[in-house]
Amino acid sequence: MRPEKEFAENVIHLALTKGADEAEAYIKSSKILSIEIKDQKIDALESSLSFGYSSRVIKDRRLGFSYSTDRNDIKSVVDKAVEAARWVDRDDYIELPETSDSGSVEIFDPRISSINEEEAVEKVSLLEKSAYEEDERVRNMRKARGTFLISDIIIMNSKGVDRQYSSTTCTAQIMVMAEDGLDRQMGWYFMGSRFLDEVSFMDIGRNAAKRAVQLLGSRRMNAQKTSVVLDNSVAVEFMGIFASSLSSENVQKGKSLLSGKLGRKVISDKISIIDNGLLPGKLGSRPVDDEGVSSREKILIKEGILHRYLYNTYTAKKDGVTSTGNAVRSGFSGLPSVGVSNLYIEAASKADIISPGEIFKAVDKCLYVTEAMGIHTANPISGEFSIGVSGLWIEKGEIAFPVKEAVISGNILSFFENIEAVGDDLSFFGNVGAPTLLFAPTDISA
């Protein structure tokens, strides 16, 4: 790794020599193995190496940026970044972060870094195999895919930041189709971790099959007001709205439903929402953010009260606060924006945590939502949403029948104000996590 550090130092040295007041080098190299299986045969296999770097400079409070995948372009990249800074407007909030203590988190698995194609194909094949074995009504497969990734990142700047770390990632997902006569239903499941042993390819296939089979025979329910239970995977989708609204970037642009609500109760006091980049093995974990600021735990909403937003260096200076370590980049070719690390819901009190089975027994009847369509269409500023859902009608703790084509509408803050119970099954889908959630009676149209 030392040659790459020297390369980063050269990027910064060249930029300062060319007249930059502050300079940063960001370097990312990756190795990825991606496999898709169809009918127990390799449908697609991609193995690739990538390398790229960028130069971000500040001159007279003006920002310049350039990048390349060719090490020999270093002089041209720096020249373009410095030149670009001449032609943009001055911005007094632009600055690079200073060095700080780095967090520590386990995010590297030697087993992923050393996995060969044969072993990887065998694991991904389990997605299909286990789904077929789960139920004879599973007849078809789509998207049986696994990826194995190794990444090395260096972030260095002229103000003392000098960070480097290596990480591994394993993700797997499958979509299956179950059939019973003319009735066909889809089921999907996903797992991801920094550690190979935490991704059960067999369980992913089984869970996807169960989700498809349990929806066979679905029928429409009568429009009514009833308790609603969100499966943890669906609750995670709703959390996407909060992820956007907790960004200081969106708050400052007036694009957040949480703008102007600091210190106020915004959702149920039974839950808290936390962002934590130091959870071992989670996909959003890392010792520092994409500017080199240390990762840490942030309680954003505590017992329903909004306490803080997420910041990178730029948005923090704009609000006169410190960065929360939430700078993210789409890659070496992108500038830092604001994003989550590991965002999740937890019960405000351990006394409020019960099992999903106990949740179903806590109400006389409820709609258990296992799939939702159109959450991405929710208005991020007003919080208004109208989504199609499917799932299971539960009576006295038992499944009565599967449900299709129901619609839940409302406001996300009002909806989350009505949380009555929190499950003990917190699960992460990507870098967002949630448990099963019980909501007070809600209007459902059909």
Q: What pLDDT, in 10s, does the model give residues 377-389? A: 889 899 999 999 9
Please tell me the predicted confidence (pLDDT) of residue 387. 94
Residue 100 — pLDDT band, cuts 50, 70, 90? confident
Q: How confident is the model at residue 1 (pLDDT cuts 50, 70, 90)?
A: very low
The sheet with strand 183-193 has its strands ordered as: 62-68, 41-59, 22-38, 138-157, 162-180, 183-193
pLDDT tier, 3 (very low <50, low <70, confident <90, very high otherwise)? low
pLDDT digits (tens, 9 = 90+) for 336-348: 999 999 999 999 9
Distance CA 316, CA 322 (A): 5
> What domains lie within the chain, and their CATH numbers?
2-213 (3.30.2290.10), 224-445 (no CATH)
pLDDT over 50 (residue 224): yes
Euclidean distance between CA atoms 266 and 353, whole angstroms: 21
Confidence category of residue 351, pLDDT binned at 50, 70, 90 = confident
Please report the pLDDT score of residue 102 as a whole number: 72
Q: What percent of the chain has pLDDT over 90?
A: 94
Tally of CA atoms within 13 A in the half-sphere of 437 that contains its CB: 30
pLDDT tens digits, 145-170: 999 999 999 999 999 999 999 999 99
Report which of 192, 277, 202, 196 is spatially closest to residue 236, judged by C-alpha positions.
192
Confidence of residue 104 (pLDDT cuts 50, 70, 90): confident
* pLDDT tens per residue across span 170-183: 999 999 999 999 99
| Residue listed under structure tokens 């923090």 | 316
Q: What is the mean pLDDT of the chain?
A: 95
